[in-house]
Structure 1
C-alpha cells in the first residue's frame, strides 16, 4: 500500500510538471521561426509575410480598436511605420478580438477606426484567432519584431513598444525602436523581451 501511494505521488508529480511545462510552452520565444499568415485588411486587400516586398522583416503588433492602451499608442504606431517601413520594417497591426465578445472590435469598426486615424500600415483581422494563438500574444498592444532571413521570419523581440504608454514624451526606453535599429545596424538585439502592458484578448466563447 505504501509503495502504491509513493508511486501515485510520483506519477502525479510528473503530470504536474508536464502540465506546467505545457502551460509555459505556448506561443513564440525569441529565436523561433514565425508562421506565415494571410489576413484580410481594412482596405479590402490581403496582407501576408510572403507578400511583403523589398523588406527586411516586419513589426507585427497585436492590436484592436477599443483598448485604451492601444489608443494611447496609435500615433506612435503610425510614427514607427513611417520611420521604419522605408527601411524594410513595416508595421502590420492585427486585431484578434472576437467581435461577439467585443462588438467595438468588429471588422466594420476596424475600418472606421483606420479611416479616423488614417492608418498608413496594414490593419488586419484575425477572425479565427489562429494567428494570435500561434504567436502567443496575451495583451493589446503586444509586439513581435521579425527579421527576414532567406524565406523565413525569425522572432527577434517580443513585448511592449516602449516603457511609458501614458506619455510618448516621457519614454526613456523605446524597446521596439532600439531593437529595429540594432537589426538595421547588423547588431544583436540586447533587450529581447519586455512585459506587454495592455488589455486582455477577447477570446471566442
Structure 2
C-alpha cells in the first residue's frame, strides 16, 4: 500500500532528534558522527520496498556528488515480518553496491522513526549543519517520480538536489513541502 509522508513531528528549523544506531560498517553512529558535513540527509528506507528500490541510484548519486552531505539511510522496519529488511540483508545490499551511501543504520527499536515522525519509505529529511546542530530545512520527496516505474521529469532526485544546493550555497531551500510516497513503515505488532 502506498502511503504519503505528512508528518509534522519535527518542523522547519527544529533540531534533528539524536540517535545511536548500529551501522552496516560495524560502527555505532549518532548525529555527532556527521558533524564534519555541511548537511545531513536522513532517509527512512528499507531493502524490500519498490518505492525505495527505485531511489537507490538517486541516493547513491547524491552521496557521490555531494561530499559535504552525509547521506544516512535508517531502516526501522520489522525484520521478523519482513526478512528482506534484516540487518544481515542490509549488510549484503551495501557490500554488493546496491546501496552506496555515507551510512546505512538499523533502528531495531523503531524509536528513531517515531522521533522523526517518519511514516513511509522513502521518507527524506534534510538538515543543515548550524554550528554542529543539525536543523531541518527540507522534508519531502526526492523528485516528481512518485511511483516505482515512473521517470522523473528532471534528473533523479532533482528536488532533494535543489534543496542540498541551496544549503551548500548558504541559502534556505525554497521548495514547498511535497510529500514523499512509499510503503508504510512496518511497525512491530
TM range (shorter): 0.7 to 0.9
Report if aligned partners of 2:39, 2:167 keep a CA contact under 8 Å in 1: no
Q: Is 2:165 aligned against 1:176?
A: no
Mean Cα deviation higher: 88-97 or 51-60: 51-60
Residue 142 (str. 1) matches residue 126 (str. 2): no
Q: CA RMSD in A?
A: 1.9
TM-score of the two chains, using structure 1 as the length reference: 0.81
| Unaligned stretches of 5+ residues in structure 1 | 1-23
| Structure 2 residue 37 is matched with structure 1 residue 49 | no
Bigger Cα Rg: 1
For the 8 Å contact 2:7–2:117, the answer to whether it is kept is: no
Counterpart position of 1:90? 70
Q: How many residues align?
A: 180
Shift of 1:171: 3.0
- Distance in 2 between residues matched to 1:177 and 1:170, nearest whole Å: 14
Distance, in Å, in 2 between the alignment partners of 1:54 and 1:108 is 28
Correspondence for 1:160: 141
- Greater relative contact order (Cα 8 A, min sep 6): structure 1 or 2? 2
Stretches of structure 2 lacking an aligned partner (at least 5 in a row): 1-5
Structure 1 moving runs of 4+ over 4 Å:
none
Which residue matches 2:85?
105
The range that moved more, 187-196 or 91-100, is 187-196
- The equivalent residue for 2:95 is 115
- Report the Cα offset of residue 132 of structure 1: 0.5
Q: Once the 2 structures are TM-superposed, how far is the Cα of residue 101 of structure 1 from its aligned partner?
A: 2.2
**Can you list the C-alpha shifts for 1:127-175, whole angstroms capped at 9, x where unaligned?**
0111110000111011000011123110000011111153556337821
Distance 1:29 1:101 in 2: 31
Give secondary structure in 1 for the equivalent of 2:55: helix
